């Protein structure tokens, strides 16, 4: 695939002065139908979905079904799909979820040692497959700097070496208060588990997601106790220009 040549330093200098709706509008004009977005249909996912569909109503939304999602996540996706007439593309793990846990020896949460491998084969592989099949030039994602140290240095537009496309993060500079204000302004719903303390919502079994305790990092409930804080989708990027 041949990428559009962008000077990312200059682009980011400009986009750092934009608010999220303007970033999304820029992305839609720059990449047109070759822009996709990802959504976990997690805690505050309605924000980016609302922003994106205001300017690109039929944008392809990649949703990865690892086989271990909460039932509430599927319900939430369906409710947003109906409300906004979403164009959701669900990509599923190639593994049988129960059989995978048995083979990997992951049936006892006290003995979980291979969370990295589980993410790689059940989450990252389906997403990489989606990008390969859909072949976008750019991908909208919902990460924010305030969500943790691994995201603090991200730029609004980066080149993803892993996926051979631009990764664009319109919400990067927004804090919790700005997210909440936008949701209230547009009457957007939170994930059903949000009010139960789940501030970042991933997979259900084997303590991959737990409620966040007062004072904890918003992503502290993910892979708790493993030292892992990212599935890997948002880590392999280069901030330099790409031709």
Q: Which residues are designated catalytic?
A: 231
- Strand 157-160 and strand 165-168: the pairing is antiparallel
The C-alpha atoms of residue 117 and residue 162 are separated, in whole angstroms, by: 17
Tell me the Cα Rg of the chain: 17
The C-alpha atoms of residue 111 and residue 27 are separated, in whole angstroms, by: 44
What are the structure tokens assigned to 181, written together? 């204000």
Measured CA to CA in angstroms, residue 216 lies from 192, 204, 227 at distances of 20, 20, 14
The C-alpha atoms of residue 199 and residue 203 are separated, in whole angstroms, by: 13
What's 222's DSSP letter? B
- Strand 138-140 and strand 87-92: the pairing is unpaired
Phi/psi-derived region of residue 4, left when phi > 0, alpha when psi is between -120 and 50, beta in every other case: beta
Residues 167, 237: contact at Cβ < 8 Å?
yes
Residues 233, 222: contact at Cβ < 8 Å?
no
**Helical H segments across 108-192, by residue range:** 115-119, 125-134, 176-185
């Amino acid at each position: 695939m041949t990428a559009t040549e962008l000077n990312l330093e200059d682009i980011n200098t400009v986009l750092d002065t934009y608010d999220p709706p303007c970033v999304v509008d820029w992305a839609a004009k720059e990449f047109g139908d070759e822009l996709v977005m990802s959504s976990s249909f997690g805690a505050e996912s309605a924000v980016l979905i609302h922003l994106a569909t205001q300017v690109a109503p039929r944008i392809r939304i990649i949703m990865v079904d690892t086989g271990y999602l909460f039932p509430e996540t599927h319900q939430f996706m369906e409710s947003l799909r109906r409300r906004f007439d979403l164009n959701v593309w669900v990509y599923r793990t190639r593994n049988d979820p129960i059989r995978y846990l048995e083979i990997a020896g992951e049936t006892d949460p006290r003995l979980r040692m291979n969370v990295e491998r589980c993410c790689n084969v059940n989450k990252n592989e389906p997403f990489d497959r989606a990008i390969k099949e859909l072949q976008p030039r750019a991908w909208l994602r919902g990460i924010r700097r305030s969500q943790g140290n691994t995201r603090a240095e991200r730029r609004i537009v980066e080149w993803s070496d892993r996926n051979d496309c631009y990764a664009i993060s319109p919400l990067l500079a927004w804090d919790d208060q700005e997210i909440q204000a936008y949701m209230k302004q547009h009457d957007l719903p939170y994930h059903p588990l949000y009010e139960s303390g789940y501030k970042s919502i991933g997979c259900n079994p084997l303590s991959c997601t737990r409620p966040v305790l007062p004072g904890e990092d918003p992503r502290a409930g993910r892979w708790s106790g493993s030292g892992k804080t990212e599935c890997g989708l948002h880590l392999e990027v280069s901030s330099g220009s790409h031709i």
